[in-house]
Every structure is written in C-alpha cells, then in structure tokens.
Structure 1
C-alpha cells in the first residue's frame, strides 16, 4: 500500500493539473484602471481621510452584488466575466483583506488595478499642469506586484512558473492619461502628443512582466471615448468637434483612441517578434464596443448607447457637478437596456458584450479562444460572490 503521507500531495498535484487543463489558466494577474478595479480604490479610501469616491455608494453594484464593491458599474466588469469563464472566483483587489493570501493557495490571482490610474507616472501630468487624484500609475502597480512576489512564491523559479501559468490582463490602461488632461482643459491636439509616451510605458511594463516569466498577456486598446456621455456633455454645443452621423459620437476623440490603438498594436507586433514563444494578445475593446454604439437595439440597448443610466440630468444624463450616487442624481430602472452607466463607465450588460466579443469572439489578435477554446470555458451566467 502506498505511503499515506505521499497520497495527499499526489492527489493535489492531479487536481491542480486538471484545473489547469480545463480552465486554461489557474489564476489571473490584473493591472489597470476603473475598467478593471474590483475594489482597490475602496480599500485606499477606507485607509485615508479623503472623501470617499461617489462610486462607493448605491446604486453602484446594484445589479449583481446588491451593494457597492468599488467597481465603477452597476455590476460586473470584463475581468469578472473572464474569471467566471475560466471557472475562477472573482479576482480580489490587491489592497484588500485578502492581500496576504497566497495566489497559489487561492488558485485565482490578484488585481492591482485602481480606478483613476494612469499609465504614466503622476509627475508627467503634474509637469503639464494636470492634477492626478490617484497616485497608482502602471509603474506603481507593477511595483506592488513585484514587492508581493516574496509572499506568494518561495523562489525565482516558483515565481516564474506561477506568472507563466497565469493570464496577465494589462488593463485597460492609458485612457485616464487622456481623460484627466482633456477634463483639465487640454486641447485634443496637445493630448495626442501624449500617445507615444503612454504606449512606451505600457510596452515597458509588458516587457518587464515577460522577464518575470509571463507567457500569456492580454493588452486591451482604448474604448471609443468620443461616444462617452461625459465628453458628449463637455463638448455639447461646441463648434470645435464634429459628430459621426451613424453613431452620434465625437469623431476627433474617437480618432485619438484609434491612434493610441494603432500605435499600441505596432509596438506589440515588435514584442511578438522578439518573444515568439510568448502569447501577446491585443484586445480590440474599441471595435468590440463600436458594435453596440452602431446598433444598440441589436444588443438589447433599447434606451440607446449614449445617454447615461445614472447621472445628474442634461441631454446625456451627465452633469460633472452631480455624480451618480449624489442625492440629486437619478438612476434608471433597467440598466441592462443602457450602454452607459454613469457618463464615464459602462453598464454590466455592455461589459458582457465586450467580454464575449473579446474572449469568445474574434476581437483579439491573435484569437484568444484559439489558446483557450470556447468549449473549455465555463458558462457566464449566475455566478455569485461575497466580494
């Protein structure tokens, strides 16, 4: 009879192999901004004396979690749908109570994304007169990750194995470098000059993660910001911009996002040539989202794609002085019929469409579902979480 002391480790090894084989990736390591933050800003606010951000109050989180979780939506984000599809629990914020739990022990990963985060360090923006309210740039997040390695793996080899088996989600990141500047009054032409700096920062982080052992990285492009209720409100009535007749979106702002995405793809192609054994996956958030901006009714968005569900009034239900969750704001009864949640962020229903287009569809280069076939993914439905 086999030695009983050897049976349990062997069974755990078989179990871990089975999980990895069926789910493609046993854990997710995430970086980014509010499109991916699952609660880091909430943790940061709880440990500081600053006024809590409005998205820490109802109706945020009402659709799925029944309470605000720090996610900038009425429900789940793209990263949540990715975790569910891989059969993983929802990925906890790195700054939360689960920070010190080993990734290997959880088998799920950790999320360093922070709402409001930029790709570039705050000093870049401060030199240009733009205030950044979240000091958690991509470089800062990467520093947190590297600092945590000693607590989640016991050696360099173990760390490389853990990171290599994980799915690394690089954002979305970079959008706020443009958002903060545009809201501060910088011209679109000036903000366009930021693009090479933003892309080089993202590429540097990708290269650093590859050096640490990453083998599969998903790097999203920017969303079509010209379709944002916030920008449609800011530029409302202005002669400075032109609108796409088919969508109502601001052409120049969407061209800024397209420029960012083209520059990013060119740089990612160079990384693929240098690291042919690494899966460098570009996620086309822009065109995945343009599907419902062009044809909202086709995707069930019967209340349109441009007007916010929750906001302070006006033609697009967005008022920079009255945030969603403000007592003076109003929230729609059926968020799943809206694309836009609060003027700046999308609804759970919109994020679900983007997720399915990216991770189950054709909006990645190369195709994600060629690496992790759709047949291996878990059904994305009524997964619940206590987060």
Structure 2
C-alpha cells in the first residue's frame, strides 16, 4: 500500500469509534485555564472558595460586553473558542461546573478555571497569594470523576462518553507564567517536561475512564501577546522576530512546549488506537491572524495592542488592568485581535475556531478527505 493509503487507513481506524464520523456530539466536557473558563473562576471567587485581593479576573465590565452584554467570567469581550466549538456542533454553550443548578451533566460541563496550572503547588514551588491545587488540572479531573455518576445516570458511561467531545486544555501557561514574567526563563524550561508528562498522564486517565474523543490545544504564540511585550519592552532588538515583531525566544518556548505535547499525543494515540486524539494548533492559528490582520478584518496597527487596558505602548498596565476604574476599552473590539493583553477578542477566537473546525489547524485533520464528515453549523 502507498503511504497516503496507509495513512488514510490508519485515520479511518481511529475514526471508526469517533463521533467525528457521525458528525455530531451529544455533549462537550472542557478542562483548562482562562482560555477555556466560562465562569468557574468568577463563581468560586464569589463563593469565597478562592481568595483574591482586588478585582477578580474577568468579572467586571467591559468583559462580556460584545455578546453577553455583561461579565460571565470569560476572559474576553464575548465568546471563547469552546463556545464556537459548541455552536458548531449544534450544542448549547458549555456551562461552568461551579455554576451549580445551571450545569446539565448530560449536555456537558466546563471544568476550566482561570489561573489553573497543570502541576500542583509543591511541584511548582510557587509563591502565589492562594493555593491553586483546588483548581489544578488534576482537581478538574477529580471534579469530572465526581460528576460521572450523574452523567451516566440514564445510560452507561461508555455510551455517553463515546458521544462526547473532551476539550482538554490548554494547560501549561500558568505553570510557566510565574517564572517567565519574573524573568527566570531557565526555571520555565525546567518545568516543561514535568508539565508535558502531567498532561499526558491526565489524558491517559481520562481514556481509562471511557473517554473516546479528545481535542488537545497547544499554547498560543505568547511572544506576541501584549503582556509579554510589555514586560520585556525595550529588550535587545535581536530579541524580536523581524517578520512578526514578536519576541522570538518566547515564541520558541511555546513551540517547544507544543512539539513535546504533540510527541506525547502521538505516543498515546499509538497505545490507544480506538481513541481519536486531535491536536489543536492554537499557535499557528493565532499567528496567522497577527501576520495577516487585514485579511481577517483587524487593524494592522493594533495587532499587538490590547483593546481594553491602560497605558504603555501596548495598552497593558499591571496596575490598571482591564476592568479597573482607570482602564478603558476600544470602541470596536472586533477590529482588535487582543482583548486585554493576555487574552484575545471574540472576533479573534471566532477565526481560530474556524481554522480548527475546518481542519486547517487540527492534526489529524478532522475533515480529512478520506473521512466522510457531515455538515455542521457554520460559525
């Protein structure tokens, strides 16, 4: 058999047990950090589970202004990638686990929390203002386990999970952030294999619970984010990529993480051939917007500038974050790629989701020509 035919045959073997063949899911379960959180952090802070000095992240206007017209805990002006994925498959937006009665286990639940690390506090040796163990990756998986009896109440878990999509991540950004933002980059490099191993172990644990379909995102091009460019403002000129204008070393760090992650996903896929694992390339999907902003309806001159913030060349100020009284937001968020310097706008997330769901930025390509995907809702 020729290589293309072999590749196609292998893909069909994986697809045979995947809902991608049928073209729909009955539920989505999500795990991750602020790129995926749809309200857990704001709920946990309000209930006093998490202690926060100042304004809880993403909890005040103008967050949510574009779509929901009020803050929902999403770190954007509107919907996130997970929201567009749900809409694509004709499902309701995935509710936060900590939302209590609003969560419908049968239709999916979101366990992601702003600030969630892949590792525990003792491994990170982090000096945070509060313990993040209760929102960590493993804590989220434990929440999922505790919910399984409710999820499988009307039918067996195998049948339910076979029809569910698991969006797992991204994870790692919060593990690295403390070291990188404190300019201890060597410490961040030390954490990479620990983070990747932890993510791989978590995925295998989910598979043993009966999970069949997983989408695992990598890191965004963090060297292009306003908060990174602000922290390292006026660094040496050679630190910047002459084509993108982003911090070369930081993007290389993200690419290394993504490369290690993909290697582990390949290993897991080979070990579990009846499971469908697709890598979601947030990095190149996001970079494409920054390289060709006008093509996607964004202003070229604002591609690194936060729509919401206060001061500095990138409108990012740690002492006057988006939502603080001294901050301000742009008039047309849809013309900006970046929302608050650390997160993107709804318009940017929409384009990234389109790229993922078209198969352009997923591997394996979820619309591979040798499969027979049915049409889904446009976004």
Q: For residue 354 of structure 1, what is the aligned residue in structure 2?
A: 352
Q: For residue 62 of structure 2, what is the aligned residue in structure 1?
A: 59
1:101-123, CA deviations, whole angstroms, 9 ceiling, x for partnerless residues?
4x22xxx2000000110111122
Asked if 1:221 corresponds to 2:218, the answer is: yes
Do the aligned partners of 2:21 and 2:371 also contact (CA within 8 Å) in 1? no
Q: For residue 91 of structure 1, what is the aligned residue in structure 2?
A: 94
Q: For residue 180 of structure 1, what is the aligned residue in structure 2?
A: 178
Q: For residue 113 of structure 2, what is the aligned residue in structure 1?
A: 114
Give the superposition deviation at 1:372.
8.7
Q: For residue 42 of structure 1, what is the aligned residue in structure 2?
A: 42
Do the aligned partners of 1:312 and 1:322 also contact (CA within 8 Å) in 2? yes
1:316-364, CA deviations, whole angstroms, 9 ceiling, x for partnerless residues?
0000111101111111001111111001000001111110111113111
Aligned partner of residue 219 in structure 1, secondary structure: strand
Distance in 2, Cα, partners of 1:343 & 1:372: 39
Residues 1:351 and 1:20: Cα distance change in structure 2 (over 3 Å): closer
Do the aligned partners of 1:55 and 1:68 also contact (CA within 8 Å) in 2? yes
Distance in 2, Cα, partners of 1:296 & 1:87: 29
TM-score of the pair, normalised by structure 2: 0.88
Do the aligned partners of 1:296 and 1:304 also contact (CA within 8 Å) in 2? no
Q: For residue 26 of structure 1, what is the aligned residue in structure 2?
A: 26
Distance in 2, Cα, partners of 1:20 & 1:197: 31
Give the superposition deviation at 1:164.
2.0
Equivalent position to 2:285, from 281, 284, 288: 288
Distance in 1, Cα, partners of 2:238 & 2:320: 24
Distance in 1, Cα, partners of 2:238 & 2:137: 31
Distance in 2, Cα, partners of 1:372 & 1:87: 20
Q: For residue 233 of structure 1, what is the aligned residue in structure 2?
A: 230
Q: For residue 204 of structure 1, what is the aligned residue in structure 2?
A: 201
Distance in 2, Cα, partners of 1:30 & 1:204: 17
Q: For residue 308 of structure 1, what is the aligned residue in structure 2?
A: 306
Residues 1:374 and 1:274: Cα distance change in structure 2 (over 3 Å): closer
Distance in 1, Cα, partners of 2:169 & 2:374: 25
Residues 1:300 and 1:133: Cα distance change in structure 2 (over 3 Å): farther
1:152-198, CA deviations, whole angstroms, 9 ceiling, x for partnerless residues?
2249x812221221000001111111113222x14222211111100
Distance in 1, Cα, partners of 2:30 & 2:55: 23
Residues 1:312 and 1:145: Cα distance change in structure 2 (over 3 Å): same
Give the superposition deviation at 1:241.
6.5
Give the superposition deviation at 1:26.
0.7
Distance in 2, Cα, partners of 1:175 & 1:346: 15
- Residue ranges of structure 2 left out of the alignment (5+ in a row): 1-18
TM-score of the pair, normalised by structure 1: 0.87
Do the aligned partners of 1:29 and 1:169 also contact (CA within 8 Å) in 2? yes
Q: For residue 10 of structure 1, what is the aligned residue in structure 2?
A: none
1:77-125, CA deviations, whole angstroms, 9 ceiling, x for partnerless residues?
0000000000001000001033664x22xxx200000011011112222
Aligned partner of residue 354 in structure 2, secondary structure: helix
Distance in 2, Cα, partners of 1:372 & 1:353: 24
Distance in 2, Cα, partners of 1:83 & 1:131: 34
Do the aligned partners of 2:307 and 2:315 also contact (CA within 8 Å) in 1? yes
Q: Which structure 2 residues correspond to residues 66-145 of structure 1 after superposition, within 5 A?
A: 66-98=69-101, 101=104, 103-104=105-106, 108-125=107-124, 127=125, 129=127, 134-135=132-133, 136-145=135-144
Do the aligned partners of 2:23 and 2:374 also contact (CA within 8 Å) in 1? no
Aligned partner of residue 368 in structure 1, secondary structure: coil
Residues 1:372 and 1:350: Cα distance change in structure 2 (over 3 Å): farther
- Residue ranges of structure 1 left out of the alignment (5+ in a row): 1-18, 381-387
Aligned partner of residue 116 in structure 2, secondary structure: coil
1:27-83, CA deviations, whole angstroms, 9 ceiling, x for partnerless residues?
001000000000001110110164541411100000000000000000000000000
Aligned partner of residue 99 in structure 2, secondary structure: coil
Q: For residue 251 of structure 1, what is the aligned residue in structure 2?
A: 248
1:184-220, CA deviations, whole angstroms, 9 ceiling, x for partnerless residues?
x142222111111001111011101110111110011
Aligned partner of residue 168 in structure 1, secondary structure: strand
